Amino acid sequence: MLHCSALGLALAAPAGTAVAQVGARPRKVLVVGDSLSAEYGLPRGSGWVALLEARLAREGIAATVVNASISGDTTSGGRARLPALLAQHQPSVVLIELGGNDALRGLPLASTQANLLAMTQAAKAAGARVLIAGMAVPPNYGRQYGEAFTALFATVAKAENVALVPFFLAGVADGPDAEAMFQADRIHPNASAQPRMLANVWPVLRPLLR
């Protein structure tokens, strides 16, 4: 069964800024996401963003990671927060992981797409490369809605010629061990799912750090 992603209802404190620096003049990755990236319900340091830091260090890649994710955030919230984040951190790469909460709240797909488009354009205007993490919704949302929701991420990525992870939770929400990959709420991935989430991101993110 496909689990819904990024559907945290309660706001949680943003995950702390994470830093991994190797060598001089590191590149900077800004992660703007929701509960999937904010370590909701996980021990600090066990989420996929923390695992990303560790991998960068292990491979000797000079890059720092700023995790600006907030549980419960929507694309509208991310759009509102992004200008200040860009000015403060001046990232070389912006990873946008938002959209699941839009679906949970029944927000118009056109609004979600417009927000993702605006965030992508703002990041590019600030000189950053962009990676969009695609999402999907459970079958109970209906086939038509589900297909349209999934497609909007690819639509934005294609329109702006930016990188895309087609489904951030591939192998987690749609795999044979899906039940074992989620916390008790059946919404948020547990610690065992985090390496797989990073594995979905890494091959798309790595070329952007060159």
Of the residues 71, 92, 102, 188, only one is catalytic, namely 188
- Say which CATH number the domain at 84 has: 3.40.50.1110
Backbone angles phi, psi at 145, to 5 degrees: -65, -45
Task: Note down pLDDT in tens along the chain; length 210 residues.
Answer: 344 433 333 323 333 333 333 334 579 999 999 999 999 999 999 999 999 999 999 999 999 999 999 999 999 999 999 999 999 999 999 999 999 999 999 999 999 999 999 999 999 999 999 999 999 998 889 999 999 999 999 999 999 999 999 999 999 999 889 999 999 999 999 999 999 999 999 999 999 998
Instruction: Decide if 125 is inside a domain.
Output: yes
pTM of the entire predicted model = 0.88
Residue 139 is assigned to a structural domain of this protein: yes
Residue 73 among the catalytic residues: no
- As beta bridge partners, residue 131 has 95, 163
Number of structural domains in the chain: 1
Q: Which domain holds residue 39?
A: 27-209
51 belongs to a structural domain: yes
35 is annotated as an active-site residue? yes
> Does residue 8 lie within any of the structural domains?
no
Expressed in angstroms, the distance from the first to the final Cα of the chain is 37
